[in-house]
Chains A and B, each alone.
Chain A
Amino acid sequence: MRSLSVFLLLVSCLVLPAFSAAPAEVPPANLIADPVNDPGWKELFARLAPQQARRSQFEERRIFPFRTTPIVLTGEIRISPDRGLSLNYLGAKPQIVIIDQKGVLMRDERGQQRTAPADPRADAATSALFHILRFDLPALAKTFILHGRRDGEAWTLGFEPRDATLSGLIGSVIVQGEGGRVDRINMVKSEKQRIDILISDTKETASFDEEELKRFFR
């Protein structure tokens, strides 16, 4: 059984990615041994690493082994090169989840905040997901084995944690997209235990305004 603190750490991991409406993709088989310098991927990774603020819509499907139907959530994703990632869950119980260098922060509609507690496993998971969403390749290469597949402009990347504990926490992560756009993220522990997120309507902007930064980031 997980400890109290592990609860929230796992939260951080599994919650952030919330991505993909489609069934989980089969991880691509082509190993990318040196993602920083691989000539086939270098240019794409440079495009994927956020240089500007991004705002997207998402639909998250949480698939639990003990449920016959998935839990479906919708919201907005904001990525700031400086401030990290922010997920704004809409719906009956609005909630903002912020992932940045300091860890994970959750903020409810009343403004009440809570952070994920310290735990080496949580830190590793949070850090890994933070790097994935920022396509920070040097950092990613330390933690994950990368596989990739391209089909014209479309691409699929698979991230397999090198560490078994981390793998147990977040499973494998599959990111799909086209050109410089991320369309889907799947976090797969098993067929019946995963989170799929579909990302749409991505818009880039020079930066978020002050109010948006204050509301959606730490």
Chain B
Amino acid sequence: MAPPQQKIWARAGLMAFAVLCGGWLLQLDYRQKISTNVLDLIPPSEQSPEINLVRGFADDVQSRVMLFALRDPQNPALAKEVAARFAAKLLSSPGFAEAVVIGDSAAQDKLGRTVFERRFELLLPGWLAAKHREFKATGGSDDRFSAWLAEKAAADLESFLAEPEAAAMQEIVLADPLLLVPRLASQAQLFSPQGADAAGYGLVWARIKASPLAEEGQQPVFAAVEAALAEVVLSHPGVELRWSGINRFAAASRARIEAEMRLLNFFSIAAVLAVSAIFVRQIYKIIHLLPVILLSIAGAWTVSTLIFDRLHILVFVIGSLLSGVAIDYGVYIYMQPALRPDEPYAEKLRRLIKPLLASCLTTVIGFSLLLFSDLPLIRQIGLFVGAGLLCALGAAMLYFAQLERPFLEGRQFGGLGSGHQRRAFRLIPRLLLVVAVGIAVLGPFRLRWRDDVRQLDIPAPALNANETELRSLFGESENRSLYLSYGKTAAEAREQLEAFRAGWTKVAPQVATSSLGMLLPLENDWREQTGRIALLGKFPDEFRAALERHGFSSASFAGFFEAWDRLPAASAVRDYAELARSVSAMLTGPLSMLSSTRDPFWFLTVVENPGTPAPVESQTVNVSQLQSLNDLFTRYRWSALRLSLIGLGLVIASVFAIYPFRRAVRIALIPAGSCFFVFGTFGLLGHTLNLFHLLGAFLGVCLSHNYAIFSSENAGAGGAPPVSIRLSALSTATSFGVLAFSQIPVIHALGLTVALIVITTLMTVELEPLARRSA
């Protein structure tokens, strides 16, 4: 094929590729395609019902809550009034589903009244079942149950009057001598807002309609908050507002990432330009590298989004580093001079194709192995980088066919110590290499690893402190643990809750637990209530007598006895699921988030100061899955390590298949040695590593592999590495080095590891000819 034809075909190929990628990427719904949820990093096989439940709870329930605290320093007594005005204004905004003033006695009264009115329907079944079991344990026959129960209830009531609550509950006790409501109040007490600690603040709990991670859950909501505050300020000019919500964290994270990426990219580009200015004579010509990088990244995005239904944002953050690798092929082709002035591009390419293919394909093989990882993130990174590298090589080969003279002239500074024959210039590099080998061999034994899923978050210390203080004002404590008891139905979930509470009573009776699930009777207790009531035909008379025996005036309890007579009609509900839903409907505001009586079915339990491990119940899970996720990440680190080592093995095997033995040994040793040296240095310095250092190391090794291959011709001749290697390695090292200054732990880990490995490789490549020089 004649050169002009080749040029046309190459251009057509590039254009078609760009159009295909652009067309695909432009029509994507990125909100659906890209996830920012940490739990999306967990593979489906690990997404047990527990994880899914916790995830649903976190996504759909907890994350939409916003907390507000308002105070008017000039009129502290008006805090509640200020809070009420603020809440009313929030509620008028379309972004808010609920806004409740904490400590609002009207709402509390309403709930208390409803619970009281439904006490026989909701609370009596459980009480009666428990007493019946207690009675049966005495060996009595059912015809004696009524008399036993009357005596027992009167004795319990007398005992209750000695408890602190009794004096406050005497009005209730008159209508509820069985103590159904007081016992529930005790079982649910951890859910009570702790208003006395609010330090002069009026507290507002609110729930937004949209996801806090979506745009509509952020700026419109923030605008509504500002509008509500402005309204309150009209009447209370000095009012102070403190507030928190997941949307604030999400918005801050995004702003932080955007700001940091802008800054890092700026310094990264500046560093690359500075390095280029040193090594390239006509710096403007490096603009020709840009299309190669853009097409490589576009290809990586296209292939990844085609293959995976959903990708985590970290893939793109980490994947943006692909440019550091993708640029190598372009630099190598572009900076190789023609053998003669009329050498056609195709001939030059044929000459370079072996190192190019060796470099690219071995790296792609290495990253392809990551496709076998259990961790979706690692699989996605493997595909993204692998596809990106192939696209980079293809784009570089086709793009430079467009140029009349595809050559970027560099400054060749010669090798280190060249021209000096003194012994020291031979010994110092050798000594340095011996020290490096020592560090590479011994240092890794001192490595410490720590996998913490929180490293995936963007640090926001000020927002975290604000959140902690607000939660403290709302009475939440870090000493509390939250558990979800779940089931396929409301009845099963309620059974699991009962088992979990019974487990606590067994292992640590001193631990306070609270659950509003106790408002709902167990299904069996509820169904058997009619039969048990049938045993209590004489109960009213027997209870009156028992009350008198225990020092009570039975006439005072007339209200109770009248209600008891109407008992058979107490519940109109005939279906347990409907009963469960009717209980949920009673709960509003924060209390509405403590149970779910629609699929998925669960009840929340708060445990205060557990101090001991929770009882193991098969269908109850701790809401805080942090440790589980950390353990999972540790497993994936080992998985990534195993795959990386296999990948490295394959890369090395490929090198030995392509190159003569001695050259292959050199090409294999330089990247591996650099990696071990860097890890050895980390070990000796006590630097704690995580999964992302490992991924960075893999990337670094692949980059180093390129340099080892590209420099092998010169090294064989005892000369300095070609300028393309120096330019490429230094550009990569500086751009990744800039990333090491990132405040985002993942970016920092990757940037630091890659930069150090690349620098080590470059130093090795530079020092190697010196060390090998004979006297």
A contact set with B: CB distance below 8 Å: 1-15, 18, 62, 64-69, 71, 73, 89, 91-93, 95, 97, 102-104, 106, 110-121, 123, 126, 193, 195
Contact = CB atoms under 8 A, between A and B. Distances in A.
A1 B553 CA distance: 20
B168 interface: yes
Contacts of A12: 168
7 contacts: A3-B113, A4-B185, A62-B167, A65-B556, A67-B552, A89-B162, A118-B198
B575 interface: no
B588 to A, nearest CB: 13
B196 A123 contact: yes
B235 interface: no
B112 A9 contact: no
A15 B167 contact: yes
Given A102-B197, A114-B512, 20 more contacts: A2-B172, A3-B110, A4-B111, A5-B105, A6-B112, A7-B165, A7-B169, A7-B185, A9-B168, A15-B167, A65-B170, A66-B174, A66-B557, A67-B161, A92-B159, A106-B164, A115-B192, A116-B192, A123-B196, A195-B167
Interface residues of B, number: 55
A119 B173 CA distance: 20
B113 A1 contact: yes
A119 B108 contact: yes
A118 B551 CA distance: 34
Contacts of A126: 196
B293 interface: no
B608 interface: yes
B13 interface: no
Contact of A118 (B111, B116, B185, B195): B195
Contacts, number: 164
B112 A8 contact: no
Contacts of B600: none
A142 to B, nearest CB: 10
Contacts of A3: 105, 108-113
B194 A115 contact: yes
Question: What secondary structure prevails in chain A residues at the interface with B?
Answer: mixed
A113 B164 contact: no
Interface string B72-95: 000000001000000000000000
B171 interface: yes
Contacts of A92: 159, 162
Contacts of B175: 1
B403 interface: no
B186 interface: yes
Interface in B169-201: 169-175, 181-182, 184-186, 188-190, 192-198
Nearest to B110: A3
Contacts of A7: 112, 165, 168-169, 172, 181-182, 185
B185 A8 contact: yes
B386 to A, nearest CB: 58
B161 A1 contact: no
A190 to B, nearest CB: 12
Contact of A8 (B184, B189, B510): B189
B166 interface: yes
B113 A93 contact: no
Contact of A112 (B162, B182, B510): B510
